[in-house]
Structure 1
Amino acid sequence: MPPLDPEYLTFDYHCHYRGIPGPDHDPEDYPMTWTVSVNATVWDEDDDGDGEEVHVGDARFTIVPDAGDIELFLTLDAVDQELANVAEMLTVERPDLMPAAGMDLGGDLLVLSSLWIEPKFRGHQTGHTVLTAILSTVGRAAAMVILEAAPLLSDDAPEEDTPQHLAAKTALHRYWTRFGFRSAFRDYLVLNVNDGFGST
């Protein structure tokens, strides 16, 4: 299938949030969890009409406002284990990353939990396009993006630490490195947004 024209992608963002974001919130309510559903209008070769709306993929991410100004571990540990692991990586294993991104001067942390693209639309860096859209809209204040470049473990996925699983991790690492991410710790990758991003 040919690459999708970004002009014909539609992004449906959703965030359910109690109150107004700010440091006075209870820690578990402070981060904002977003989902985005991505659709596209596509045309068959012989279609001169309006085209067909098809589902392209989904993403889930959390934005932590002003992450350099809060007790990051206490806040993220109150949400769930995934975010607690990110906070531990940033505060214990790699405390240099946030100052390097200028987050001591402000800026949000965006943790990309999942980004899934329909198999028929893969191979054209559609995931890069989706993350660019996120960073250009609801993630505009993000100074840093963290993701774990490891395939999700599921019934139909390769078992952990098998050659197939390790190959999938290597492919994900390579894919996101081309966007601008670099290694942080173990399977975590980091993107300093101010350094620029996008397919290379």
Structure 2
Amino acid sequence: MATLNPDYMTLDYRCQYRGIPSLDHDPSDFPMDWTVSIDGRGWAEGEEDNDGEDVHVGDARFSIVPDAGLIDLFDTLDAVDQELANVAEMLTIERPDLMPNAGMGLGGDLLVLSSLWIDPKFRGDKLGHAVLKAILGTVGRATALVILQASPVLTDGGPEEGSAEHSAAKEALRLYWADFGFQEAAGDYLVLGDMADAFDA
């Protein structure tokens, strides 16, 4: 397994946004969609004494909904795509308690983590935790609530949904993010409502 020091990671953030963010913005354009390319300096096992090499570590994709407690969340996210509409449905119908408990009635941003992929050769050192901490410490500084769906992406040739292998992968994801401070929300959704947990993890 290769090793990589999180302090040597470089995160390249990309966001394309139309106009100036405000509560009057068109609902379909309201969330800020971000992609992150994660690079770093890695060392092959047994070669930690050399300078290492530049490597691609992973990628992340997330949406930030500014002032989520001050808007009609379902109408806004339903106008974007089905993934965000499902999050809005969970927050407004299944768990309406989550947003007020996170202080979102006063504003605060909602961050929906759609994907966070780390190259398998760098897994095992919780680099995903380091990446999420970096996101929350930079573009996510006003985040009051983080939502993610702890379910592996279904791929051709991968485990089928409902299979023992897929269930085991889901449980591993839940445990991984629980160690960061996430708690169960509804279904496969996990929630982080205390940002202090993120920096204590």
TM-score by length of 2: 0.94
- In the alignment, what sits opposite 1:73? 74
| 1:165/1:199 CA distance change after superposition, 3 Å | farther
Moved more, 176-185 or 156-165: 156-165
> What CA deviation, in whole Å up to 9, does each residue of 1:74-97 have, x standing for no partner?
000000000000000000000000
Question: What secondary structure is seen at the aligned counterpart in 1 of 2:4?
Answer: coil
Question: What secondary structure is seen at the aligned counterpart in 2 of 1:60?
Answer: strand
Mapping of residues 45-194 of structure 1, within 5 Å: 45=47, 48-49=50-51, 51-194=52-195
Residue 31 of structure 2 aligns to which amino acid in structure 1? Answer: P
CA distance in 1, matches of 2:115, 2:48: 35
CA distance in 2, matches of 1:194, 1:115: 18
Q: Percent identity?
A: 66
Give 5+ residue unaligned stretches, structure 2.
none
- In the alignment, what sits opposite 2:9? 9
CA distance in 1, matches of 2:196, 2:121: 31
| 1:42/1:141 CA distance change after superposition, 3 Å | same
CA distance in 1, matches of 2:173, 2:84: 20
Provide the aligned C-alpha RMSD in A: 1.4
| 1:163/1:31 CA distance change after superposition, 3 Å | same
1:198 is displaced (CA, Å) by 4.5
| 1:28/1:20 CA distance change after superposition, 3 Å | same
1:197 is displaced (CA, Å) by 1.5
TM-score by length of 1: 0.95
Q: Determine if contact 1:108/1:141 at 8 Å carries over to the other structure.
A: yes
- In the alignment, what sits opposite 2:40? 40
